[in-house]
Copies of this chain bind each other. A is one copy, B any other.
């Protein structure tokens, strides 16, 4: 299943079309893309039954520039940095350094196709895998982790390096949270999606980055 935020409404994405969830469910699920995570299991079951048994309502073509962030108002954002040796080396950390956990403040989140006003000439960017957690996850066993995952998407982690490095010690969160410094999307892919699904994250003028997700079945 792929879900997206189309002009502020939750949609199922099927091929190149969008099915409005509030309409297709007869109001059983709300239009607000954030609200669905409060009843994620019920929504997932409903969506699966749409795929399998019911005739899927006809979708409507849509434009990528009308998509907002698939998770528009997460209650918290855990950003994991320095999480592999090559990146630790590049950032000047010892190779055995513990990963750092910072945040990108939720007000920086944007859809996959947005304009970013650069606050300085030292804006950097990194492509990230984004994991949306559907419900409380505290002291979860490794083998139960996928059970808490609603879906996956791609994000850009934009950083303004001057303010990040201005203090006596580097600080991550604020310098990574200017307006639109957190593009995400285009959609959220549930872990049951077939192997080989590719999400593309593109930065105009910089190049094209592709990122491939391994679904739960193969993890």
CB < 8 Å neighbour of A75 from B73, B99, B169: B73
Q: Which residues of B contact A82 (CB under 8 A)?
A: 167-168
CB-CB < 8 A to A181: which residues of B? none
Check if A76 sits within 8 Å of B138, measured CB to CB: no
> Contact between B171 and A76 (Cβ–Cβ < 8 Å)?
no
Chain copies in the assembled complex: 2
Q: CB-CB < 8 A to A64: which residues of B?
A: none
A173 in contact with B107 given A73-B75, A93-B168, A98-B167 (CB within 8 Å): no
Q: Is A134 part of the contact surface with B, judged by Cβ < 8 Å?
A: no
Asked if A101 is at the interface (CB within 8 A of a chain B CB), the reply is: yes
Report if A199 contacts B (CB, 8 A): no
Chain A interface (Cβ < 8 Å from any Cβ of B): 73, 75-76, 78, 82, 93-94, 97-103, 105-107, 138, 166-171, 173-174, 179
